[in-house]
């Protein structure tokens, strides 16, 4: 290499150093300092480049210039290290203050809301039947007595109509009652739809009972209704067995016992076998041809079954609840056992 020797003035080195120190001292945070490291400290910084060109400096000057550059570089590195240490300290101190947790502060005691176990059970039942291809139908709680009684073949003098059971709405000649069961929704469904019909009707129902351990004047039912060609009681029994197994456990089966409902013929009570005993569950039967006809369905072509049970009772048996008050009174200590308020 034969190029002419160069010379690096001490003032030049001083200027490079001064610029680097100024930049370092002005870095406000570690990100800025990182940029400054590349520009003023790293391999491509002016001071590093000056060092790299030392070889071109004449032999006489090389030692002094080298020493000047070395010292300047050491100063820059030192300033950088000092600033870095200060900025790290500042960052950590700030974090300690900002992210401080005051363990003496009162906790947030508000509980998150969640579904009442009765609502969860209703959803479970809806999911089951929707999975079987049923639709979920709803109707009004304030119902015409024609739909609640007459269309269901419950005659005027039937005991279910008596003042003891039914909440009649004044004026009495308006013919309105608080529905005593969800069966009027079946009538509505049959009036509005052509068979085949596969629906469940869950909802609130009313009877003038006193609230006690096993009764409540406001309760919930879920009824099922199927109208199709060739439907028999075997279909009803199979559906009830599946229903019971899904709600109470895979080994649970049902039995049906002869009974009477004006709107089904034949009619039956359905029980399920649970924890070593038969438990009454609800009513069921083949839809009475008079009801089919009242709803404009040709009973020579179509047959159907219906069943209906109380949700409170179902929940009580399944979850070992012994007092109806627990279900209706809304005490969170009860609901929380089902996950309400903790989710
Ligand atoms: N609706 C009847 C009740 O409330 C139950 C039932 C529904 C019975 C469907 C037979 C068929 O008691």
Whether the Cβ atoms of residue 272 and residue 260 lie closer than 8 Å to each other: no
Rounded to the nearest angstrom, the gap between the alpha carbon of residue 217 and the centroid of all alpha carbons in its chain is: 30
- Rounded distance between C-alpha atoms, residue 327 and residue 315, angstroms: 9
Q: How far is the CA of 94 from the centre of ligand 1 (A)?
A: 70
Tokens of 114: 């969640």
Task: Measure 115 CA to ligand 1 centroid, in angstroms.
Answer: 27
For the entire predicted model, the pTM comes to 0.69
Ligand 1 pocket list (CB less than 6 A): 181, 183, 223, 261, 264, 282-285, 306-308
pLDDT confidence bin for 343, thresholds 50/70/90: very low
What is the structure's pLDDT at 340?
Answer: 54
110 pLDDT exceeds 80? no
Cβ atoms 262, 285 nearer than 8 A = no
Look at residue 141 and tell me whether its pLDDT is greater than 90.
yes
CA-to-CA dists, residue 225 to 49, 110, 120, 332, angstroms: 90, 42, 22, 35
Which atom, in ligand 1's list, is nearest to the CA of 181?
4
Choose among 147, 231, 168, 170: nearest CA to 196: 231
Q: Cis omega before residue 171 (within 30°)?
A: yes
Alpha-carbon Rg of the chain, whole angstroms?
42
Domain boundaries, the chain: 10-98, 117-338
Q: Which CATH class is domain 117-338?
A: alpha beta
pLDDT given at position 2: 53
State the distance from the centre of ligand 1 to the C-alpha of 282, rounded, in angstroms.
Answer: 7
- Nearest-atom index, ligand 1, CA of 268: 10
CA 160 to each of CA 146, 164, 278: distance values in angstroms, whole numbers, following the listed order: 13, 8, 26
Instruction: Tell me the mean pLDDT in the region 336-343.
Output: 60
Q: State the pairing for strand pair 218-228/135-136.
A: unpaired
Tokens of 1: 């290499």
Nearest CA to ligand 1 atom 4: 181
**pLDDT digits 0-9 by tens, 1-20:** 456 888 888 999 999 999 99
- Helix ranges restricted to H, the chain: 10-26, 30-36, 46-52, 59-98, 117-131, 145-148, 183-192, 233-248, 289-294, 311-319, 324-328, 332-335
Res 334: pLDDT: 84
Type and span of the H or E element at 304 = strand 303-310
Beta bridge partners of 278: 273
What is the SS3 assignment for 316?
Answer: helix
Q: Which residues pair with 206 in a beta bridge?
A: 218
> Ligand 1, residues 159, 261, 304: which to mutate, most atoms within 8 A of Cβ?
261
| Distance (Å) from CA 325 to ligand 1 centroid | 24
Tokens representing residue 51 in the block: 């060092």
Residue 335's pLDDT band (cuts 50, 70, 90): confident
Band of the pLDDT at 341, cuts 50, 70, 90?
Answer: very low
What confidence score (pLDDT) does residue 342 get?
A: 41
What span, in angstroms and rounded, lies between the C-alpha atoms of 27 and 81?
12
Rounded-to-integer distance, Cα 82 and Cα 25, Å: 10
Top pLDDT among 5 and 84 is at 84
Mean pLDDT confidence for 15-33: 94
């Amino acid at each position: 290499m034969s190029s002419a020797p160069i010379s690096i003035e001490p003032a030049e080195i001083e200027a490079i150093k001064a610029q680097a120190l100024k930049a370092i001292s002005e870095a406000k945070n570690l990100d800025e300092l990182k940029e400054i490291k590349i520009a003023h400290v790293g391999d491509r910084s002016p001071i590093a480049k000056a060092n790299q060109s030392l070889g071109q400096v004449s032999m006489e000057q090389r030692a002094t210039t080298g020493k000047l550059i070395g010292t300047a570089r050491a100063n820059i590195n030192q300033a950088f290290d000092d600033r870095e240490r200060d900025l790290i300290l500042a960052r950590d101190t700030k974090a300690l203050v900002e992210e401080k947790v005051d363990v003496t502060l009162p906790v947030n005691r508000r509980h998150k809301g969640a579904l009442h176990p009765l609502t969860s059970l209703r959803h479970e039942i809806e999911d089951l039947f929707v999975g079987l291809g049923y639709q979920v139908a709803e109707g009004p709680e304030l119902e015409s007595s024609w739909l609640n009684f007459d269309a269901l073949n419950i005659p005027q003098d039937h005991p279910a109509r008596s003042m003891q059971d039914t909440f009649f709405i004044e004026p009495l000649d308006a013919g309105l009652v608080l529905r005593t069961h969800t069966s009027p929704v079946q009538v509505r469904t049959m009036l509005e739809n052509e068979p085949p019909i596969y629906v469940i009707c869950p909802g609130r129902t009313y009877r003038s009972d006193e609230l006690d351990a096993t009764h409540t004047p406001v309760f919930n039912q879920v009824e099922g209704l199927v109208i199709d060609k060739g439907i028999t009681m075997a279909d009803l029994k199979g559906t009830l067995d599946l229903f019971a197994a899904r709600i109470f456990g895979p080994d649970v089966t049902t039995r049906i016992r002869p009974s009477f409902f004006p709107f089904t013929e034949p009619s039956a009570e359905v029980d399920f076998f649970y924890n070593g005993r038969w438990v009454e569950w609800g009513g069921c039967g083949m839809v009475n041809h008079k009801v089919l006809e009242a709803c404009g369905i040709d009973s020579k072509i179509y047959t159907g079954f219906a069943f209906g049970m109380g949700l409170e009772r179902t929940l009580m048996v399944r979850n070992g609840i012994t007092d109806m008050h627990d279900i209706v009174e809304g005490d969170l200590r009860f609901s929380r056992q089902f996950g309400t308020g903790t989710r």
